[in-house]
Amino acid sequence: MASSSRVPPSQDRWGLAALVDLEAQLFADRGLHEQELAARDVPIGRALRVEHQSRPSLLAGWVSAMRNGAAAPLPGRFVQAVWTQAKWALAVVLFLVGLGAAAAVLRFTGDHPINVLVVLGVFVFGQLAALLLTVLFFAVAAWAPGFFESLPLVVLARAAVVSSWRRWVRRPEGGTREKLGWVRGRRSLYSRVERNLLFVLLQQGAVAFNLGVLSSFLVAVTFSDLAFGWGTTLSIGAEQLHRACAALSAPWASWLEGATVSAELVRATQYSRLEGDYVTAADGAGRALSMYGHWWRFLVVSIITYGLLPRLILLVHSNGMLRRALDRMPPETPEVQRLLMRMTTPSVHASHEDDPGDTSRLGEGFDAVGRPPSRFEQTTAACARWRDAVFDDAALGAFLEQHYGLGIDGEVGSAGGHDYEADRAFLGRVRSNDLPIFIVAEPWGAPDRAFQRFVAEVRADGGERRHVNVVLTEGGTADDVAVWRGYLSEMADPYLALERTQMPCQQRAS
């Protein structure tokens, strides 16, 4: 079991390695009793919640603590390393494929010129078709996951992952089949991440392929005297090909004129393999031979525009989608909910625990926390439900009107729960005004450091004199109320108050 006596603040960003380690540790925790898990996780949660933590940051901190205290290394960083190596290995392979493909297409022996239509067909139109299929494939996969599951490429990628997993878990005690069963059973939870991982992999490979093509092209142009021509058995004339080239070069024609082709160039480079010569060779006896190499600028810019740039854009976009998908992970499974509950459930006692000899009650030696003013300058108050306090909003409105002459400003917010976005939303609201704040809590929901942090957030940005008032609902014992009173007293905040009159949990019928 990981040690929790010293938990360093986590600097790890939530990502693939943390997600894998979370799942691996949740699997390992299945054999532990809930009391053992609580004894380990409660101190970790207490140490991590010193600062305001989002849900992913809290889980990443827990994973970091597990890594520091694990008897055997967790597999997350290994999986991350395998993923990184797979990306670069595929990129190297496809770079070499692009290099070789371009070298084959640009092979010029002097017998016949390089066919421009072949270059355009393979490296421009072929890539546009592949790009369209890629986008269509992932759009359909997002809409119909079953289509994605059965594709050969996906099956192959999963086989590689299973092979890596078997390599990682190969230990004398076995358990490989059970662990793989756990992974397969939870695979549907991470289908979005899986799709985006594959999407990133393919886009990086496509970028490498285009870089290989361009590298081969530039080497051939630099160190060889290339001649280009065009010819086809289809009924395509020089004017039609010129219009097609003009359409392709439209994005850069106005600012990169050297990378366009003229009608004269198209007519001059029409080639007949049957005759073994350019069609207009007899008419252009005085034409410079260098004209036959002028196609290369147009071809290079076309490959960059229609091959490399779209893939770069998709690579950036796919990395963003992967980041967003990972940020939404893990889903709210029962295992994750229990973990968060163990880390965030308050553990407050009526006596101090730091010094075993200190048995003084909470709040002893501090000024008793006061009650809210009977009347406020404002006519409304910002109200929030602390954690899962159960009460009727209408009952709260009647309570505030009766005791303070206040109404509720907007909706009743939430604070102190597992949804930290709700805390941020409420804090964002109160920062835009100077209304008094009323926090409604249940007496047995004892305060903890989360409450201190919440008040500190309220006090930030010039809110030192804002009234923060705690109202307890009915129920609980006198000791429960004493815990609240003592805890708030020790915060020594003159603008913090506790309403001694308990609010009804439900609105009473008249």
Q: What is the pLDDT of residue 4?
A: 41
The answer on pLDDT for 124 being more than 50 is yes
Alpha helices per DSSP H over 49-125 = 55-69, 76-105, 116-120
Higher pLDDT, 11 or 460: 460
Higher pLDDT, 58 or 244: 244
Contacts of 510 (CB under 8 A, 6+ apart): none
Q: Is 265 in a helix, a strand, or coil?
A: helix
Long-range contacts of 11-14 (CB under 8 A, 24+ apart): 12/60, 12/61, 12/63, 12/64, 13/60, 14/56, 14/57, 14/59, 14/60, 14/326, 14/327, 14/329
**Residue 126 CB neighbour total at 10 angstroms:** 12
Report residue 152's pLDDT band, with 50, 70 and 90 as the boundaries: low
Q: What is the pLDDT of residue 162?
A: 60
> 88-97, 274-283, 334-343: which range is least confident on average?
274-283
- Average pLDDT on 214-235 reads 83
φ/ψ bin of 210: left (φ > 0), alpha (ψ from -120 to 50), beta (otherwise):
alpha
The mean predicted confidence, pLDDT, of the chain is: 78
Q: How far is residue 453's CA from residue 448's CA, in Å, rounded to a whole number? A: 9
Q: How far is residue 98's CA from residue 141's CA, in Å, rounded to a whole number? A: 27
The answer on pLDDT for 483 being more than 50 is yes
Report residue 510's pLDDT band, with 50, 70 and 90 as the boundaries: very low
Percent of the chain with pLDDT over 70: 75
Q: What is the largest CA-CA distance in the chain?
A: 110
Q: What is the pLDDT of residue 181?
A: 52
Highest mean pLDDT out of 282-286, 296-300, 332-336: 296-300
Q: What is the pLDDT of residues 431-482, one digit of tens each?
A: 888 899 999 999 888 788 888 888 888 887 667 778 899 999 988 788 888 8
Q: What is the pLDDT of residue 1?
A: 46
Q: What is the pLDDT of residues 173-198, one digit of tens each?
A: 444 455 545 555 566 677 778 788 88
Q: What is the pLDDT of residue 147?
A: 56
> 121-130, 230-239, 286-295: which range is least confident on average?
286-295
Q: What is the pLDDT of residue 153?
A: 60
Residue type, 315: L
**Residue 23 CB neighbour total at 10 angstroms:** 23
Q: Is 287 in a helix, a strand, or coil?
A: coil
Burial bucket for residue 236 (CB in 10 Å: 0-12, 13-18, 19+): middle
Q: How far is residue 385's CA from residue 438's CA, in Å, rounded to a whole number? A: 9
The answer on pLDDT for 207 being more than 70 is yes
Q: What is the pLDDT of residue 462?
A: 65
**Residue 240 CB neighbour total at 10 angstroms:** 12
Predicted TM-score of the model (pTM): 0.59
The answer on pLDDT for 427 being more than 60 is yes
**Scanning the structure block, which residue is given the tokens 């939430």?**
414
